[in-house]
Every structure is written in C-alpha cells, then in structure tokens.
Amino acid sequence: MPSIEITAKSVEDARTSGAARLGVEPDAVNVTVIEETKGLFGKSQVRVRVEAAEATPAPAAPATPVAKEAPAGRKKIERAPKAEAKPKAAEPTPEDTT
C-alpha cells in the first residue's frame, strides 16, 4: 500500500489532499495522525500519514442452482392409483334357494 505524509490545516483537508495525490477516493484511504499542533492565535496544523486502503474483492454472487432435466429417453409416467379389488362372496339369491 502506498503511503504519504501530509501537513494540513485539518485531518479532513489532509485526507482529501492525500487521496488526490494517491489517485484514490477520499473514502478509500486510511489516515493516521502523527502530530497535531496548536499554533499562535489558534492556528492549528496536523501532520498525518495517508495510506491507500487495501482493495477488498467484491463478494461473489451466490450461484443459482440449475434445474436438472430428465434424460431424453426416459419420461416420468404417472399412473392412476390401483383400486383395491376385494372379491365379494356370492350371496345366495332367493332364486337359488328354491
């Protein structure tokens, strides 16, 4: 990570200036305050080290599952449920008992 030392009026000015020198966005730098001084008549200066932050790779998109198709030669055949056939005992009819 490249880094530079900058003296500016405020930490925010140093961040902006350092980011411009490093060629990155101000949000993409890490700032470490080395020295902060109060001068005569309230005039202050800040000496900071500005480093370009490590680029973090974007999280990978979750893989979408692919629907598996049945092989071309086979088709799923739905069958009707089998009816339970129970043989009924022949009941004597009045004609048979004569």
Please write the tens of the pLDDT for every residue from 56-71. 544 555 555 555 565 5
User: Residue 65 falls within a domain, yes or no?
Assistant: no
Mean of the per-residue pLDDT values for the chain? 77
Q: Which domain holds residue 34?
A: 3-52
Number of domains in the chain: 1
Residue 69 lies in a domain: no
pTM: 0.51
Burial of 50 per CB tally in 10 Å (0-12, 13-18, 19+): buried
Of 8, 44, 14, 9, which is closest to residue 26 (Cα–Cα)? 14
Residue 89 or 51, more confident: 51
In this predicted model, what pLDDT tens digit does every residue of 23-55 receive, in sequence order?
999 999 999 999 998 877 878 899 999 998 876
